[in-house]
Amino acid sequence: MSTFSAPKGTYDLIPPDSEAFLAVREALAAPARRAGYGYIETPTFESTALFSRGVGESTDIVSKEMYTFTTRGGASLSLRPEGTASVLRAALERNLHKQGLPVKLWYSGSYYRYERPQAGRYRHFSQVGAEALGAEDPALDAELITMAVDAFTGLGLSQVRLLLNSLGCRACRPVYRAALQEFLRSVDLSFLEPDDEADIRRRIEINPLRVLDDKRKAVQERLAGAPLMADHLCEECKAYHEQVRSLLTDAGVRYEDDPKLVRGLDYYTRTTFEFVHDGLGAQSAVGGGGRYDGLSEMIGGPALPSVGYAIGVDRTVLALAAEGVELTLPARTRVYAVPLGEEARRTLFGLVTELRRAGVAADMAYGGKGLKGAMKSADRSGAAFAVVAGERDLAEGVAQLKDLTSGEQTPVALTELVTTIKEKLS
């Protein structure tokens, strides 16, 4: 055992569990690929200012959870806590927005937040996301939401709920903000610890919508009479939101209107949505997103109305477990070679190489294992067939092909092994 262990709040992905994570990532990405989204990969760390300006200084992510460090040259960098700001930065830097709109991108990677570790919440986590940049169209909002729904459905999940809301625009949001601040300033928060109360009071002045996102039951009870954004939407935002709702209904997507849904980031406007799974306990959100029409200008770019989402791979895996859904995973090994002797080792090494090049997952026993130990390894590998060869077999120009399910074993000419195996596997 090593004297080192993974940092608190992180995890190692190892076989066979890692196979499920890979399958989930592929399933979450598939709808985006089918919808014409291209893959983008950005650095693990970015300028701290990108997140403080884009994500919002009033958010817990920026104020409490970012991993920030100073380089030898004095620059402040942070491990990325989310993907949208990085994707938008890269698109602007590479002038993708000048090559036709909307720019459709999807991504997958690890993200980092200094949170209190618990089931479903880690300091290092994996997400798959998609962004549509440069078009203000309710059909794009509906497209992205439908893509995420199709991803969950494709994995076999049936208990994921979609929550939907609108956060308004630059015209109607300030009116609502003022009304919400007036209400919140009168709320009695003396039951909280002094630091917690001070934190909420600060949010009331900087971004009062974030107070609605507080998950503490006692706080939520005191917000029961808070004004709602839905009652303050301008006519244009109302019409936009109704189009999104109508398009989702036409696509057969079920949703629940949640007038208090604000998400945890400052950049959202208009359409806001979240996917939750009640089988995950306190960390019920498996993904979410929304429209962020002003983010490009916040980070120094041109007006570029956009919409996107991110889905947690870790929580999706937990949701599958909560529903008892077992994924059908491809076998890592279909054929396992067992050489008995040096000459057989050379011959079967060539066979394994030929099988792999023919597209067949193959492995072999290494380290001079005896027949008994090698066959145990073959069983553990999950292979469908074992190929066993010794000196007598090679002298006769054959190898023994054993069906590891039925136990049936037949001699097959070495020159016909690859063809025979491929036929049996098909």
53 assigned to some structural domain: yes
* Listed residues 323, 357, 377: the one ending a domain: 323
pLDDT at 384 over 90: yes
Whether residue 237 is found in the same domain as residue 343: no
Q: List residues forming the annotated binding site for L-histidine.
A: 82-84, 113, 127, 131, 263, 267-268
Whether residue 43 is found in the same domain as residue 163: yes
184 assigned to some structural domain: no
Instruction: Find residue 309's DSSP bridge partners.
Output: 130, 289
Whether residue 260 is found in the same domain as residue 369: no
Mean pLDDT of 111-127: 89
pLDDT at 63 over 90: no
Among 27, 73, 101, which residue's Cα sits nearest to residue 320?
27
* Listed residues 323, 356, 389: the one ending a domain: 323
CATH number, position 77? 3.30.930.10
Whether residue 339 is found in the same domain as residue 314: no
195 assigned to some structural domain: no
Residues 6+ apart with CB under 8 A from 183: 225, 226, 227
Whether residue 153 is found in the same domain as residue 259: yes
Whether residue 38 is found in the same domain as residue 160: yes
* Listed residues 264, 289, 323: the one ending a domain: 323
Structure tokens at 423: 């036929």
Report the relative pairing of strands 362-364 and 335-339 from DSSP bridges.
Answer: parallel
Confidence of residue 264 (pLDDT cuts 50, 70, 90): low
237-249 pLDDT per residue, tens: 999 999 999 999 9
Q: List residues forming the annotated binding site.
A: 82-84, 113, 127, 131, 263, 267-268
Q: What are residue 227's phi and psi, to 5 degrees?
A: -65, 150
- Looking at mean pLDDT, say which of 58-67, 117-126, 211-220, 237-246 comes out highest: 237-246
Among 23, 28, 2, 3, which residue's Cα sits nearest to residue 13?
23
pLDDT at 36 over 90: yes
CATH number, position 406? 3.40.50.800
Confidence of residue 398 (pLDDT cuts 50, 70, 90): very high
Contact 66, 49 (CB under 8 A): no
Confidence of residue 291 (pLDDT cuts 50, 70, 90): very high
399 assigned to some structural domain: yes
Domain that holds residue 287: 17-172+233-323
Q: What is the mean pLDDT of the chain?
A: 92
Q: What are residue 349's phi and psi, to 5 degrees?
A: -60, -40
Structure tokens at 339: 């050489």
Confidence of residue 119 (pLDDT cuts 50, 70, 90): confident
Alpha-carbon distance 28 to 160, whole Å?
14
11 assigned to some structural domain: no
Confidence of residue 126 (pLDDT cuts 50, 70, 90): very high
Contact 348, 339 (CB under 8 A): yes
* Rounded alpha-carbon distances, angstroms, from residue 179 to 58, 174, 218, 334: 19, 9, 22, 65
Whether residue 383 is found in the same domain as residue 292: no
Whether residue 24 is found in the same domain as residue 130: yes
Whether residue 287 is found in the same domain as residue 409: no
* Rounded alpha-carbon distances, angstroms, from residue 81 to 84, 113, 162, 169: 10, 6, 23, 25
The residue count of the chain comes to 426
Q: How many angstroms from the chain centroid is the CA of residue 393?
A: 50
Alpha-carbon distance 149 to 157, whole Å?
10
102 assigned to some structural domain: yes
Confidence of residue 286 (pLDDT cuts 50, 70, 90): very high
Whether residue 248 is found in the same domain as residue 303: yes
Q: What is the number of domains present in the chain?
A: 2
* Rounded alpha-carbon distances, angstroms, from residue 239 to 49, 343, 371: 35, 76, 72
211 assigned to some structural domain: no
The pLDDT, as a whole number, for residue 245 is 98
The pLDDT, as a whole number, for residue 58 is 63
Whether residue 265 is found in the same domain as residue 357: no
Report the amino acid identity of residue 301. Answer: G
Judge if pTM exceeds 0.85. yes
Whether residue 392 is found in the same domain as residue 264: no
207 assigned to some structural domain: no
Give a three-class secondary structure readout of the chain. CCCCCCCCCCCCCCCCHHHHHHHHHHHHHHHHHHCCCEECCCCCEEEHHHHHHHCCCCCHHHHHHCCEEECCCCCEEEECCCCHHHHHHHHHHCCHHHCCCCEEEEEEEEEECCCCCECCECCEEEEEEEEEECCCCHHHHHHHHHHHHHHHHHHCCCCEEEEEEECCCCCCHHHHHHHHHHHHHCCCCCCCCHHHHHHHHHHHHHCHHHHHHCCCHHHHHHCCCCCCHHHCCCHHHHHHHHHHHHHHHHCCCCCEECCCCCCCCCCCEEEEEEEEEHHHCCCCEEEEEEECCCHHHHCCCCCCCEEEEEEEHHHHHHHHHHHCCCCCCCCCCCEEEEECCHHHHHHHHHHHHHHHHCCCCEEECCCCCCHHHHHHHHHHHCCCEEEEECHHHHHCCEEEEEECCCCCEEEEEHHHHHHHHHHHHC
